[in-house]
Every structure is written in C-alpha cells, then in structure tokens.
C-alpha cells in the first residue's frame, strides 16, 4: 500500500478535519509516515486566515513536491478555496480540494491515482496539465454540514469535536466567511454519540469547536438567544459520562444571565471561556465590523465572573489595525488591564487580500505594530501570573497528560479545569500505573516555572 504524509496548518477545526482524513486512510491500509520523510502522497491541510498563512501553505506544498517530485501532492482546505485559479497554476499541486469536501478526500485521491496509472504515470509539467484535478464547490451556496467523526485523536487525553462550520459575521479583516461559507451545524445526536465513543476509548476531556461555535444550531441571523449551544452542552454533560467539557472560542453576545445559569448546571463544564475581543476601543471595533462595544464586552465578562468562581477568561487582540492611533491603542491597553485576562493571544494586523480592511487607509507600519504587540505581550505575562497566584493554596484537579523534567525532578504535567498548567512529582504518584489520562486532586502550592504550578496531593 502507498505511503502518505499529512501536514496541518491553521485552526482547531482544521486539526479535527485532519484527524478524520488520517483516520480514513489508516483504516484503508495506507502507510502513514512523518511529513519530513519521502512519501508517495502528501496532503497539506491549508490555511488562508492571513497572507502569512497563505505563504506557509505554499511553502509546505512546494517542500512536499521537492522532497519527492513523483509524489501526488494534495492541497486541501481554505487556501485553495480562496484562490482556486492560483492553485491550479501552481505546479506543485496535483489535487486541489476545497472545504466541505475533505470527507471525500480518500475516494477523490484514489480516482485520481487510477487516472494517473491509466495515463502511464505521466509526470505533470508545463506541457501536460491534464492530470491536475480540482474539487472546489461554491462554499457560499451550500447548506450542507460536512459530517465527520473520529474515534481517536493525536492527544491521548483530550479530543476536539467539531460541531459547527461557517460564519455570518463578516468582520472587515477576516476572509473566513468567504472560504468556510454560511453557518451550518452538526446534528446534536451525532455529536453526542461521538463523545460517547471517545469516552469509551479513554478520553477524559472533549473540546467542542467550530468556526463560529456560538452559532451552533442557528439557521441564520445574529440573534444568539436562538443558539442551541447550551442545549448541546447539557446533552453532552448529561448523556455521555465525559468528565470534562471545554468550549472553543465564543461570541461575546451569546453571554447572557440565562446562558450562564444553563452552563452552571453542567458539572463537567470547565470554567474556561475564550471571548474574542480584538480591540478595547469602540472606534476600532466599529471599523472592524465587530457588533458589540467595549462596554458590552466588559458586561459579559462580569456575568461570567458572577456565575463562576474565578473563571479563566482568555481573549484575542489585534494590534495595528488600519487607522489605529496611539490614543486608540492606549484605550485598548487600558481596557485590557482593567478587564484582567488569564491569557491573551496578541496578533499584529496582517493585511489580507479580499477583505474590506485590506483597502482601508491608514495601514500601520510594521515597527509600530511590533512595539504595540510587545507592550501587550508584557501585559499578558503580568496578568497571567496574577491569575495563577489567585489559585495558589486552593484545591484543584489536574488531568495528567505528559511527563517532563522540572528542576531535575521528573513530573507529570496536566491542566486544571481553568486550563492552568500544573505538575506533580512522579515520587508522589503510585508506581506501576498508567499516569497519563488520570485525574488527581490536591493543593496548588507554588510556582515550579513561570507557567507551571506545583500541586501537592
């Protein structure tokens, strides 16, 4: 059987879809090898969220073809969905397969291989492009949810479960609605059954994820009171026996008093909420086409903190958005410090062709973006330490995941429900037992490293 190598770029949804594709080929008997080895087939699950992501996608495609010029190279996902014409011109790409067709990668590839053998294994070149194939649908006209299901994941204790695809928000900097299409959702029963099987396979924690998770179960519009996400969380918590449920990124507008009350009734839910902010300045939020104000966002954070005991609130922030003045940046910085996050993902604005923001005046120089990013990263480090300190001398439960040496001592590392990294020395754990995947309880007593606390059982 032929050898095949996979490489994934981009978001957690891409990661889930990659695991499904690998599973399909593994079950068919293909020999899966590391991407840096020579293979008969290379599959690159691409990303296009920024121009840098486009460049990385191209680099990996070209690297695969250079490693084995005779190999079949398949470009899958967002990069080819956004630029079909460019993909078809790229001589490193043999197959271009867009979104909502990843589940069909195996039959598409095998049909291509059959055509290639019939043609006498002719190598593609400028003079002969007849073998190049493409399967890219008009993603903005489909209402089909691409059904996938995995039975195992790359991580041994935590599995991501995709339940939603597409986005209707059209933020001015974002290409994703154009390459992922309109919102559509997985059937609730299918998601519950997958979590059950993952639980039976030994997973202790699942992460519900989607391109715009808060739109789960909605048919359109922006009325998040119609979202079925709370119903899904409750069903997974009540019917699967999974010990932990973690959520992907949430739309701030989904947070209401009722939403918080419903989530509090699910004991397995981890009090870790990622609310994407992007800017703490209202004028910048308006230019970004974010549909809330900084004040409304802060109100949502307060609702979560009133409902849960010191929940972890994490966020995304973009610095250097077109037209962002020093005053607007300082307004964002002040807002972040006042709100107090556990962690922030700080991004320098990247101009993305095809978006509204790419044509805006007032593009910010890279040096200014770099300085602002540095300021926020320093603030992030300060806030993260304060949040961890808040949990010292408190009881916590850790899901153990891996072994690591810290200060000359072998430890098992894991995460609390709030996603605080913590370690327990191996000498404090029972010998002869499988440690990865166990949940242990104890007191968080101090710092072993800046981002790792010690837990005493």
Of residues 113 and 262, the one with the higher pLDDT is 262
Q: How confident is the model at residue 137 (pLDDT cuts 50, 70, 90)?
A: low
CA 172 – CA 178 distance, rounded (Å)? 12
pLDDT number for residue 16: 94
Encode pLDDT of 312-357 as tens digits: 999 999 999 999 999 999 999 999 999 999 999 999 999 898 999 9
Encode pLDDT of 374-430 as tens digits: 999 999 999 999 999 999 999 999 999 999 999 999 999 999 999 999 999 999 988
Query: Two tokens at 170?
Result: 């059209």
Which listed CATH number (3.40.50.12160, 3.40.640.10, 3.40.50.2300, 3.20.20.60) goes with 3-137? 3.40.50.12160
Q: Kindly report the number of other CB atoms within 10 A of residue 110's CB atom.
A: 12
Q: pTM for the complete prediction?
A: 0.91
CATH number for the region 158-390 comes to: 3.80.30.20
Of residues 282 and 124, the one with the higher pLDDT is 282
**What values do phi and psi take at 345, rounded to 5?**
-95, 110
**What residues does each domain of the chain span?**
3-137, 158-390, 395-456
Q: 326: Cβ–Cβ under 8 A, 6 or more apart, which residues? A: none
Taking 3-state DSSP, the helix, strand and coil percentages for the chain, each rounded to the nearest 5, stand at 40, 25, 35
| Residue 11 DSSP SS3 | coil
Encode pLDDT of 251-261 as tens digits: 999 999 999 99
Of residues 84 and 121, the one with the higher pLDDT is 84
Of residues 455 and 118, the one with the higher pLDDT is 455
Contact 420, 396 (CB under 8 A): yes
Q: How confident is the model at residue 212 (pLDDT cuts 50, 70, 90)?
A: very high
Average pLDDT score over residue span 28-45? 96
Of residues 436 and 245, the one with the higher pLDDT is 245
Q: How confident is the model at residue 131 (pLDDT cuts 50, 70, 90)?
A: very low
Contact 305, 334 (CB under 8 A): no
Encode pLDDT of 187-210 as tens digits: 999 999 999 999 999 999 999 999
Average pLDDT score over residue span 3-14? 95
pLDDT number for residue 84: 76
> Contacts from 352-358 at CB under 8 Å and sequence distance 24+?
352/49, 352/50, 352/51, 352/173, 352/174, 352/175, 353/51, 354/82, 354/175, 354/178, 355/172, 355/173, 355/174, 355/175, 356/172, 356/173, 356/289, 357/172, 357/173, 357/287, 357/288, 357/321, 357/322
């Amino acid at each position: 059987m032929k050898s095949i190598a996979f490489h994934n770029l981009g978001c957690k949804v891409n990661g889930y879809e990659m695991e499904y594709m690998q599973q399909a080929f593994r079950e068919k008997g293909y020999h899966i090898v590391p991407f840096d080895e020579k293979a008969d087939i290379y599959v690159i699950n691409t990303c296009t969220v920024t121009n840098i992501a486009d460049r990385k996608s191209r680099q990996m495609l070209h690297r695969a073809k250079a490693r084995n010029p005779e190999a079949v190279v398949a470009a899958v996902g967002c990069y080819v969905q956004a630029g079909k014409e460019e993909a078809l011109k790229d001589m490193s790409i043999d197959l271009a397969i867009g979104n909502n067709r990843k589940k069909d990668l195996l039959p598409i590839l095998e049909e291509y291989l059959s055509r290639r053998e019939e043609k006498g294994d002719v190598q593609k070149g400028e003079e002969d492009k007849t073998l190049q194939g493409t399967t890219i649908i008009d993603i903005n006209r489909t209402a089909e949810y691409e059904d996938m299901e995995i039975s195992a994941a790359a991580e041994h204790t935590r599995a991501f479960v995709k339940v939603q695809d597409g986005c209707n928000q059209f933020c001015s900097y974002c290409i994703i609605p154009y390459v992922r299409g309109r919102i559509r959702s997985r059937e609730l029963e299918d998601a519950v059954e997958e979590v059950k099987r993952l639980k039976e396979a030994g997973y202790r924690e699942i992460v519900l994820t989607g391109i715009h998770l808060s739109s789960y179960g909605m048919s359109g519009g922006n009325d998040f009171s119609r979202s079925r996400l709370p119903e899904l969380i409750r069903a997974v918590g009540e019917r699967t026996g999974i010990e932990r449920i973690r959520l992907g990124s949430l739309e701030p507008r989904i947070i209401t008093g009722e939403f918080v009350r419903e989530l509090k009734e699910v004991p397995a839910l981890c009090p870790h909420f990622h609310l994407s902010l992007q800017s703490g300045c209202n004028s910048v939020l308006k230019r970004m086409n974010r549909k809330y104000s900084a004040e409304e966002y802060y109100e949502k954070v307060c609702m979560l903190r009133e409902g849960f005991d010191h929940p972890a609130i994490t966020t995304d922030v973009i610095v250097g958005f077109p037209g962002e003045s020093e005053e607007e940046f300082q307004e964002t910085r002040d807002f972040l410090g006042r709100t107090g996050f556990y962690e922030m993902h700080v991004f320098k604005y990247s101009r993305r062709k095809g978006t509204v923001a790419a044509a805006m005046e007032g593009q910010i120089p890279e040096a200014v973006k770099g300085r602002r990013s540095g300021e926020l990263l320093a603030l992030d480090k300060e806030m993260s330490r304060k949040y961890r300190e808040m949990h010292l001398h408190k009881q916590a439960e850790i899901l153990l995941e891996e072994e690591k040496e810290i200060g000359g001592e072998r430890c098992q590392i894991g995460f609390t429900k709030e996603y605080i990294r913590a370690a327990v020395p191996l000498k404090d754990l029972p010998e002869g037992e499988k440690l990865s995947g166990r949940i242990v309880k104890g007191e968080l007593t101090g710092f072993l490293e800046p981002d790792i606390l010690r837990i005493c059982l």
